[in-house]
Structure 1
Amino acid sequence: MCLLLAACSNGSESNAKPDNKEGDKAGNTSAVSAPGTFPIVEEKVTLKVLAALRPDVEDYRTNEFTKWLEERTNVHLEWETVPESNMKEKLNLTLASGDYPDIFMNMGITDAQLEIYGNQGVFLPLEDLIEEHAVNTQNIFAEQEHLKPAITSNDGHIYTMPDINECYHCYYSGKLWIYKPWLDKLGLEMPTTTDEFYEVLKAFKTQDPNGNGIADEIPLSGSPKGWNSSVEGFLMNAFVYYDFINGDTTRRLFLNNGAVDAAFMSEQYREGLRYMKNLFDEGLINAEAFVQDGDQLKQLGANGDVVILGAAPNGSPIPISDNERWKDYVVVPPLKGPSGTQYVNAQNRKGNVNGRFVVSATSKHPEIAVRLADAFYDREVQMFSLFGIEGEDWRKAEGGEKGLEGNPATFVRLKKTSEVANHSWNQANPTNRTVDFRIGEAINDPVNNVEYILHASTKSYEPFRNETVMVPPLIFNEAQSSELLGLQKTINDYVDNMLVQFIMGDANLEAGWDGYLNELSNMNIKRYLEIMQEAYDIRYKK
């Protein structure tokens, strides 16, 4: 979690929140059209946008969707862009500078930052502007009753436009994929327990499934730097609920009868470490699984003409191998541990992403910024922003074409995202991708359609979602954030380091366990969990 606490003012007066009931009129010389209509303004208005550049988008300035949007809305966008890899640093610098754009878009603004900088008067409260100008947003609130509370900060204000992506397979992206031809060749069934998985990996190691007469098979690998591709992120859920996909805020935390607890201090976690240590000791996990990046993992999966990788975790099989081999990796359902534990690592949100589109309190045209965001939920606008030019990059579905659930399809993608080049914004802006929208994609070639494969594979994960142990999204005030800034990184870095040391044998899991717990105590793990509990109680305890 990036908690940015830089002071943004020199006096208390500048921290006062603008009265946004009148704020949309201040400084505005352009008449705004009726909500939901185009153009948004008759006289062209320029809005400054700070945005992280999405993959496969060459330049927002020359982008085909940008050109079309500006013509349709009569709103000119003046861009300042930054690579996504540098967006946190750029956001920090901008917030500290006092010189803000009209709009922050796709800058990774967290719930905590919305709360902190909203209270400081940097981000504009949007609820009144939404009520007056954003008819599409109001309709979304009416259709999805959970959404408005989910984007409302603890102070009662809304500082972000909603971004809805009810991505079924993303909810359960902590998946494991296994090379099915090896299972078939060795006459093995899909493993369902940790013991069965051990036997499968042992067979991959000892029975030469690639048939080259060389003991070069790597039964299991992973990466701590990919899309939920850490080995422990999948395996540990057979021992204790282990949150590894919801970011640092709730990382490795779980609810224990309503109390926020640390999985990494439990005996169940220790038992999971024993299991993984045994896999490592027998050569069933390679050492690189704990240090390599995603590209290095992909190189193992795509290794020449000889398959050497048996299984690996990831949100999708494609990052495991960049050739056609990815189609032969099939999903392993959540494993049952020796005590019957069988959790799935799942997203704790219901498809909403906060912080995608935020308006600065210094904007002279906040009502136009909100109208622009509201326009993104229009079906025609949304399709162009996501997929590019109709008839070239996507088309409307024809009669008889079926979607992900066998339902009538509504659209067909004609090109991959990487082939659309500079035609779309590729998810940089807020959208309203409901379940109905997503399953409307036509699946005319299921064998080669990764969206279909991911959707179908998730069916075996959903039954093991357990809301009673999942810590929901937490929002921290400025004082809590300041305390967490040091605690969280220190604790997470130490747990990361000790996990690898315990598994590889550089630290003794039996003799060194008490020392590990004592060190966590010295790092003030008690206060860390107290802060988490305080944030949980404020938002969720009735």
Structure 2
Amino acid sequence: MRGKRAGWMSLSMAAVLLLTSACQSGGGAAGQKKGEGPSEQESTGAAVNKTGFPIVNEPIKLNIVAGKATANGPDWNDIMLFNEYEKMTGIDVEWQMINKEILSEKRNLILAGGDLPDAFYAALLSDKDVMKYGEQGVFIKLNELIEEYAPNIKKLLDENPDIKKGLTMPDGNIYSIPRVYDPGFTSVLINPKSWINREWTDKLGLQKPETTEELYSFLKAMKGQDLNGNGEDDEIPLGSESINYLIKWFYGPWGLQNRGSRHSYVDVNPQTDELRFFPIDDNYREMLEYVQKLYQEKLIDPDIFTMNSAEFLARMQSGRYGSYIGWDPVGWANLKQFEGAPALEGPHGDKTVVKNSSLVTLGTFVITNKNEHPEATMRWIDHFFGEEGSKMFFMGFEGVTYKEGADGKAEYLDEISNHPGGLSLDEAVSQYLIWPGGGTPGIISEQYFKGGESLPTSMETAKLLEPYAGSEVWPPFSFTSEENSRMAGLSSDIGTYVTEMRAKFITGAKPLSEWDEYVQTIKKMGLEEYMKIYQSAYERYKNG
């Protein structure tokens, strides 16, 4: 594997034309006609050992498309984790790495063009795409493969019926392998968190805010104080890697998204106990009004709508923020002056934080119908869902990246946790492993996951927030083929409009006096049908 380059696939104008043709004709993808059922995938390759290593006695090669977290991230074709795993398994993976900024576009071209890899890994496939391409046979059914070749994944699904329900499509099939949070790992279930710069609060004698009004006064007190001591008025009281993280944090004080983050716009109305499209709720309007005030008074980062993660990290490390919403400050940015903020109480007495579902994402790993070794591929991915595979994936290799104490607990070596060159934990780990950046299939557990969420700062903050996390959190709902077809258009149109108007209301490009017009526009876009379909999916979920 070392030193090779993934040159097996090119994206040509033919792929673009095929995509255009598919859109115009309403046909399927990768040569599959619309309406055709999925075909059974049979291996035509080497014999597979059902247990132990190697997985195959005769070496095989798999071509896999993967999302690359950052432009300067590691090349998985030459990284210790997969170099060593190739020696164990007899399976050589040739990785086609695509930067996440352009991943959706490139992935869609690949799916439309038919020049498929053997699998997609960490490729940000939406739930709708999993169902769509699974039903068409582009992604193969995994039910029997899981039963026969994936004991670790089978155990996970047997022990967690809610995860299995969320993963199973309405046609009864499983088409993807997910990313899962251990249900007992609170720190990843409540994330991202809010953090406060202790050095700045000590200088000003400020207490941690407990309400949204206290937060406003807290941020105002930081403005224009040259708290970083560089002689410039460049301090930003509140930052966030994205507007989505900031909004998610503010949902809590207004009682929004109260059934978890896997449902972007639907939760339960606490007054009626019925499903609610909360972006037209009065509490949502009040939340926008509050964020607008922060934005207009320059209490939050003016570039929050356009900034990427690298730019945000650079501002973090240059001492520009008094508080921020995002990942653990030590694990992500190697900053020790930040501490966790408490849950905020809103104007109506709501004091909650939005919780993540244990079933994080469905489409982190799929096997395509071009794969000649589906059994071996299933065994390859299943290992990472077992104890030894999870340990290797997150901790690496004994004596190189970690050591075991007298209690048998694995801990990173000092060269990783306290890098002599000043690298953050994520940066140091990325020299050997691939988990920093997220999006990979597997189980995120406190035992082996040593990312920011498992560090003392995050664990302590999670305990602070846990009493305010919702007790009922929904996994993603699945839709039938017909529902999926309708929801694709409805959710895209409505979701795009909600996102665009959220930005316009916050920045002042549209006044909130036009709220009623905004609500009526959403209703005219098919909200009633959208909620009817959602209700059907909810009923299926409730009834198992």
TM-score after normalising by structure 2:
0.81
State which of 294, 312, 329 in structure 1 corresponds to 2:338: 329
C-alpha offsets along residues 281-300 of structure 1, whole Å, 9 cap, x if unaligned?
A: 55534543444444444454
Matched ranges for 1:113-512 at <5 A: 113-166=129-182, 168-205=186-223, 217-224=235-242, 228-230=244-246, 232-242=247-257, 246=261, 250-256=263-269, 257=272, 259-280=274-295, 282-285=297-300, 287-303=302-318, 308-317=320-329, 322=333, 326-347=335-356, 349-399=357-407, 409-414=409-414, 415=416, 416-426=425-435, 430-438=441-449, 451-468=455-472, 472-509=475-512, 511-512=513-514
C-alpha offsets along residues 440-482 of structure 1, whole Å, 9 cap, x if unaligned?
A: x6x9xxxx997221122111222112245x5541223343333
How far apart in 2 are the matches of 1:187 and 1:100? Answer: 59
Assess, with a 3 A threshold, how the Cα gap between structure 1 residues 66 and 528 changes in structure 2: closer, same or farther: same
Residue 341 of structure 1 and its aligned partner are, at CA, apart by 0.8
What is the root-mean-square deviation of aligned Cα atoms in Å? 3.5
How far apart in 2 are the matches of 1:263 and 1:346? Answer: 16
How far apart in 1 are the matches of 2:308 and 2:367? Answer: 35
Q: Which moved more, 1:371-380 or 1:453-462?
A: 371-380
* Fraction of identical pairs, as percent: 27
How far apart in 2 are the matches of 1:214 and 1:98? Answer: 55
Assess, with a 3 A threshold, how the Cα gap between structure 1 residues 421 and 412 changes in structure 2: closer, same or farther: closer
Residue 58 of structure 1 and its aligned partner are, at CA, apart by 3.2
How far apart in 2 are the matches of 1:390 and 1:499? Answer: 48
How far apart in 1 are the matches of 2:534 and 2:372? Answer: 38
Residue 200 of structure 1 and its aligned partner are, at CA, apart by 1.7
Assess, with a 3 A threshold, how the Cα gap between structure 1 residues 475 and 200 changes in structure 2: closer, same or farther: same
C-alpha offsets along residues 223-278 of structure 1, whole Å, 9 cap, x if unaligned?
A: 536xx543x3322421231479846xx22332225533222211112222333344
Q: Find the residue that maps to 2:458 and give its secondary structure.
A: helix
Q: Which residue of 2 aligns with 1:16?
A: 37
Q: Find the residue that maps to 2:96 and give its secondary structure.
A: strand
Amino acid at match of 1:158: I
How far apart in 1 are the matches of 2:27 and 2:147? Answer: 31
Contact in 2 for aligned 1:52/1:81 (Cα 8 Å): yes
Contact in 1 for aligned 2:179/2:439 (Cα 8 Å): no
Q: Find the residue that maps to 1:459 and give its secondary structure.
A: helix
Q: Which residue of 2 aligns with 1:403?
A: none
Contact in 2 for aligned 1:193/1:337 (Cα 8 Å): yes
Amino acid at match of 1:533: Q
Contact in 1 for aligned 2:177/2:362 (Cα 8 Å): yes
Assess, with a 3 A threshold, how the Cα gap between structure 1 residues 104 and 460 changes in structure 2: closer, same or farther: same
Assess, with a 3 A threshold, how the Cα gap between structure 1 residues 258 and 125 changes in structure 2: closer, same or farther: farther
How far apart in 1 are the matches of 2:120 and 2:274? Answer: 35
How far apart in 1 are the matches of 2:118 and 2:441? Answer: 16
Assess, with a 3 A threshold, how the Cα gap between structure 1 residues 478 and 286 changes in structure 2: closer, same or farther: same
Assess, with a 3 A threshold, how the Cα gap between structure 1 residues 298 and 84 changes in structure 2: closer, same or farther: closer
Assess, with a 3 A threshold, how the Cα gap between structure 1 residues 288 and 91 changes in structure 2: closer, same or farther: closer
Residue 128 of structure 1 and its aligned partner are, at CA, apart by 1.4
- 1:46 is aligned to 2:61: yes
Assess, with a 3 A threshold, how the Cα gap between structure 1 residues 128 and 159 changes in structure 2: closer, same or farther: same
Q: Find the residue that maps to 2:494 and give its secondary structure.
A: helix
Q: Which residue of 1 aligns with 2:17?
A: none
How far apart in 2 are the matches of 1:161 and 1:282? Answer: 45
C-alpha offsets along residues 287-332 of structure 1, whole Å, 9 cap, x if unaligned?
A: 43444444444454444xxx55322222333699x5x6x3222221
How far apart in 2 are the matches of 1:197 and 1:140? Answer: 41
Q: Which residue of 2 aligns with 1:530?
A: 532
TM-score after normalising by structure 1:
0.81
Q: Find the residue that maps to 2:456 and give its secondary structure.
A: helix
Amino acid at match of 2:325: P
How far apart in 2 are the matches of 1:45 and 1:297? Answer: 42
Contact in 1 for aligned 2:238/2:321 (Cα 8 Å): yes
Assess, with a 3 A threshold, how the Cα gap between structure 1 residues 340 and 374 changes in structure 2: closer, same or farther: same
Contact in 1 for aligned 2:241/2:307 (Cα 8 Å): yes
Residue 391 of structure 1 and its aligned partner are, at CA, apart by 0.8
Q: Find the residue that maps to 1:154 and give its secondary structure.
A: coil
C-alpha offsets along residues 100-153 of structure 1, whole Å, 9 cap, x if unaligned?
A: 332222222222222221211122112212222223333334444443333222
Q: Find the residue that maps to 2:385 and give its secondary structure.
A: coil
Amino acid at match of 1:409: K
Residue 74 of structure 1 and its aligned partner are, at CA, apart by 1.9
Unaligned runs of 5+ in 2: 1-22, 417-424
Residue 57 of structure 1 and its aligned partner are, at CA, apart by 5.5
Q: Which residue of 2 aligns with 1:402?
A: none
Amino acid at match of 2:265: R
Residue 344 of structure 1 and its aligned partner are, at CA, apart by 0.7
Amino acid at match of 1:255: V
Assess, with a 3 A threshold, how the Cα gap between structure 1 residues 491 and 207 changes in structure 2: closer, same or farther: same
Residue 337 of structure 1 and its aligned partner are, at CA, apart by 1.0
Q: Find the residue that maps to 2:173 and give its secondary structure.
A: coil
How far apart in 2 are the matches of 1:295 and 1:245? Answer: 28
Unaligned runs of 5+ in 1: 400-407
Assess, with a 3 A threshold, how the Cα gap between structure 1 residues 454 and 117 changes in structure 2: closer, same or farther: same
Q: Which moved more, 1:146-155 or 1:412-421?
A: 412-421
The number of aligned residues is 504
Residue 378 of structure 1 and its aligned partner are, at CA, apart by 4.4
Q: Find the residue that maps to 1:39 and give its secondary structure.
A: coil
Assess, with a 3 A threshold, how the Cα gap between structure 1 residues 523 and 68 changes in structure 2: closer, same or farther: same
Assess, with a 3 A threshold, how the Cα gap between structure 1 residues 6 and 110 changes in structure 2: closer, same or farther: farther
How far apart in 2 are the matches of 1:449 and 1:153? Answer: 31
